[in-house]
Each structure stands twice: as structure tokens, then as C-alpha cells.
Structure 1
């Protein structure tokens, strides 16, 4: 069984993509704990040595596979008409959309979900990049909400970080992997609504300064 195109004379970037594609296929076949570089090379029809010419270690390969999965399968894309809705509504949609993607991976692509759990547990660069992208998108929505006066003016980077931390149970694979499968979706809606509403409130420091 071969995955992807023939890698002979293929540029390094193209071969890297082929390795990630084959690694993803191998992970889905055997699971991250039982997959090795030889499995990936076999799916490519190449030798393990050729794979190591592109990636310096097995850890680097796994991180690249996880990073690709985070970007292609676990990054929520808002609806096309999102610009027509309020920033608060789009922020809630983003939180719940990210949660749904994680749940779909957990139940429908369990072996790849196991890989991203490992990425989170090991603080792999791929997980850090995923969180940065999520926080950056949240920051953009917070900025928009402040501009439209839906949210109280505040430090945007800090607000985005706090928002993501407050809904960590909705996007962190380590937590989602431990949730009972019968957990009610309403709790996710309630948490997202609560976190969004907090952005409309005066930050604690500003409240204490006003009292003085």
C-alpha cells in the first residue's frame, strides 16, 4: 500500500508533505503508540533513512503530523456570513465550533485524537502553535467587540488569553479526552456564554480603582 505521489525527484517540501500524509495514514491504521518510522516509509515505498533525511527524529515527524492535523481538522472556520453578526455571537460560535471539532475527532478519529493528546501532554510545538492561532483569532474578535462597544476596553492579548483559559475544557484535548461521552452540550453553551459575557464587564482592577 502506497500513499501519495512518487517521491523520486520531488522537492524537499513535497516529500515532507508526503511523509506527513503517510504518517497520518499510519497513525490511523496502528495508533500513535504502535506506529514507527518503518511503517511510514513502507507506505511511501521508501526507506526509513530517506525519511530521516527530511526529519531529524521520530519526535519531529510526530510533531509535524500533529501540527498538520491541528491545522486541517482542528481549526474552526467561522461561517461565511459571520461578518454580519455581532462580535459576541461570533466569539461564542468560535468557542463552540472549536469544541465540536475536538469532540468529532475524539469520537470519529480516535487514533489521531490520541496523537494530539500526546502533543498537549508533551507541550509539543504543534500544540503551542495551535493555541497561539486560537488565541490570535479570539483576540481579533475581542478587538472587534471593543471597537463596536460590545466589550469594555481592555488589554486585548490578556483578554484573549483569559478567555481561552476560562473555556479550556472546550478546546484542550487532555480534558476533552477525560469527559464522559454523555456530557450535555448545554453545559458547553452555558460556559461559552458566561465567558463571552465577562468581556462586557469592567475588569476587576478597574472596578477597584473606580471604588477608590
Structure 2
């Protein structure tokens, strides 16, 4: 499903918010696969045609609903300066915080979680924006860690991209929804600590995992 853009020069911006809110309610009620524009219009007491005046397609409505969910329910705010002992701790807390929010959606808001999976699978703008916010937040913390001499000087954008990629199994709804937590031989905290240690330029102290037991590897 291709995701279109929201129509420009929207005549009633407040109506856009109402559509997203009603769409979220309908998605939670019927699920993203069974919800249609008529369901949203019915909740609003409007006609489907009035919704299409704001959004050019059903795909653009779904992307707007997903964007709102990513921003409101899956956006973790990092601790402010001084709340944690070090920048490294703040980075760990941020990564684990995002992971906890996704797990909470999986367990307690299953229909909206399914929508995030669709957004990830379709590479919707809402999912790309989610990754961009995460990347930017991690980059800010890495930059602060370098300034505080906790992390080695490095290319911040590249380091942020590598860090996010290294903990992707904790942040991507496609992976989280498809695999049981027992699939991995490490905990979320272990993985985050391992990735943070690379920014410090030190070798993490943890037990080695036999190659045959690592994700994606099969025993001979």
C-alpha cells in the first residue's frame, strides 16, 4: 500500500485531528485490517467524502494515525541533565525506554501495534520519522558524551546510526512481534550495555555466546 501525503491547504486543521482520533479509536475497535473510512466517518458523524477532502487516500489516513501513535505512545523522552549519573546511563535508559514502550504496545495495545508493523513493513513516512527521531536523540546523547569525555571522539551521525542498528532487535516492531523473547541468549539490558561500551572504546565484560546459539545461527 503506497502512502500518500495529506492534502495541502487543509480547510479545517481541527478536523484533521478529529479524523486521526476517530481513526485510532476505530483501529483499536476493529483492527487495522478491518477498519475502513466508512467506520471512521460513522464515528465522526460525517460522510466519507468529507474525510477524503482532507486526506487523498485511505493509505494517507493510516499513515497519519500511525504517525500520531509513534509520536504520542512510542516516543521516549530522555532524562534531563543531572537526573542520571552519566550520559552513558542516559543513553542506556533511552534505548531501554523505547523498548519498553514497544513491548507495552505489543502486550496492551495489540491493534495499534499491528499498525506499527504495517508501517514498518511498508516503510511509511511515519515509521521513517520514528527512526529519525530515535537517531537524532541518540546522536544528541553521543555528542554530549563526547563533550563530557565519556565517549571517544567520533563521527556522531555514523555512531548514532551504528548504535541504533546494533539494537534494532529491540526497536523494530516487525522483529519484536515475530520472535519470542527467549529466542535470544541475551537480555535487552545486556545488548544496550554492549553497544554503549563500544562508544567508550572498551571491551564489555560479559560471557561469550557460542556461535551455534547466536541469533540466526543453527547448531550443526
TM range (shorter): 0.7 to 0.9
2:51 is aligned to 51
Q: Retained in 1: the 8 A contact 2:23–2:40? A: yes
Structure 1 residues 160-190: Cα deviation after superposition (integer angstroms, max 9, x where no partner)? 0000000001110000101215678961000
CA distance in 2, matches of 1:118, 1:172: 11
State how far apart, in whole Å, the 2-side matches of 1:44 and 1:91 are: 42
Contact 1:87 1:141 in 2 (8 A): yes
Could you tell me which residue of structure 1 aligns to residue 25 of structure 2?
25
CA distance in structure 2 between the partners assigned to 1:149 and 1:107 by the alignment: 39
Partner of 1:177: 177
Alpha carbons of structure 1 residues 187 and 181: separation in structure 2 relative to 1, 3 Å: closer
Q: Pairwise CA RMSD of aligned residues?
A: 2.0
Aligned counterparts, 1:1-212, within 5 A = 12-79=12-79, 83-180=83-180, 187-201=187-201
Q: Is the 8 A contact 2:84 2:90 kept in 1?
A: no
Whole-angstrom distance in 2 between the partners of 1:28 and 1:12 = 25
Residue in 2 that maps onto 1:210:
none
The 4+ residue runs of structure 1 with deviation greater than 2 A are: 78-85, 181-186
Greater share of helix: 1
| Paired residue total | 193
Change (3 A) 1:84 1:182: closer
Alpha-carbon contact 1:139-1:156 (below 8 Å) kept: yes
**Tell me, what secondary structure is at the counterpart of 2:14?**
helix
Gaps of 5+ in 1: 1-9, 203-212
